[in-house]
Amino acid sequence: MRGFFKAFGAASLALFFISPVAGAGENRPPVREVLKKVDDLYRGATSRGEVEMTVETPDWKRTMDMKIWSEGMDKTFVVILSPAKDAGVATLRVKRDMWNFFPHINKTLKVPPSMMMGSWMGSDFTNDDLVKESTFLDDYDARWAREEKPGAWTLELTPKAQTATVWGKIEMTVKSGTLIPVEEDYFDEHGEKVRIMKFSGVQTVGSRTLPMTMELTPLRKPGNRTLLTYKSLEFDMPLDPSVFSLQNLHQAR
């Protein structure tokens, strides 16, 4: 959910390498360029956006509208606007700390480490997706995938020894030429693919061209998916520091 909070993101490349691939396209850019492009796509000094999130399961479907603010890599604030029963529910992240406010009980609860892999707001994104500070550029070794897709380039990323992550491997596919992400496939430590993130709805926002919709599918939960669509998005505007405060959690409603 990096693009979302991205959503749900973060940012020395010394150990990245490119493996030779038979018949590889001659016009592929350096690995570093691809990773930096994807890392920076949704990141600014600040950002603000309105998002629609739809969560689907075999038994029910739920749509929420929310506003999101971020500052650099360390701060994120999210407040739900609708439906009415969820309005005012808010999440604050400051570095690795995360709190949720629930207006119906008028309580702020800090998310413990044991709950970081739990669902965020009932979606297929986890709390860890929201707070993670790793970047593809700094925290993964990368090489070109051996199989190419028409009109796209794919990288295989494996976490460095010091990277805190549950993923054993990520396969990132970007559109050739523009380097706009198309798909990210996530594998566990046993090499089994467990979730797929697809990107669509490419638009130009200011000086950036980026996907405005992300679809996350957990493969171990047949029939489940979470769809995130930016209704508006802007970068590098002044933000009051109080946005990212515990007090603001209570005022959000």
Higher per-residue confidence, 1 vs 221: 221
User: Distance between CA 119 and CA 131 in Å, rounded?
Assistant: 13
Which of 142, 124, 101 has its CA nearest to residue 54? 124
User: Distance between CA 10 and CA 16 in Å, rounded?
Assistant: 17
Quick one: 31-234 is in which CATH superfamily? Lipoprotein localisation LolA/LolB/LppX (2.50.20.10)
| Residue 133 confidence (pLDDT) | 67
pTM of the entire predicted model: 0.84
Q: Which helix (H) or strand (E) covers residue 110, if one does?
A: strand 107-110
Whether residue 4 has pLDDT greater than 70: no
Mean pLDDT computed over 94-102: 92
User: Distance between CA 177 and CA 165 in Å, rounded?
Assistant: 30
pLDDT digits (tens, 9 = 90+) for 214-250: 999 999 999 999 999 999 999 999 999 999 999 998 8
Q: Give the chain's length.
A: 253
| Residue 26 confidence (pLDDT) | 57
Whether residue 81 has pLDDT greater than 90: yes
Confidence of residue 16 (pLDDT cuts 50, 70, 90): very low
Task: Region of 177 please: left (phi>0), alpha (psi -120 to 50) or beta.
Answer: left
Share of the chain above pLDDT 70, in %: 88
Q: Could you tell me the CA-to-CA distances from 174 to 29, 65, 210 in Å, in that order? A: 12, 28, 12
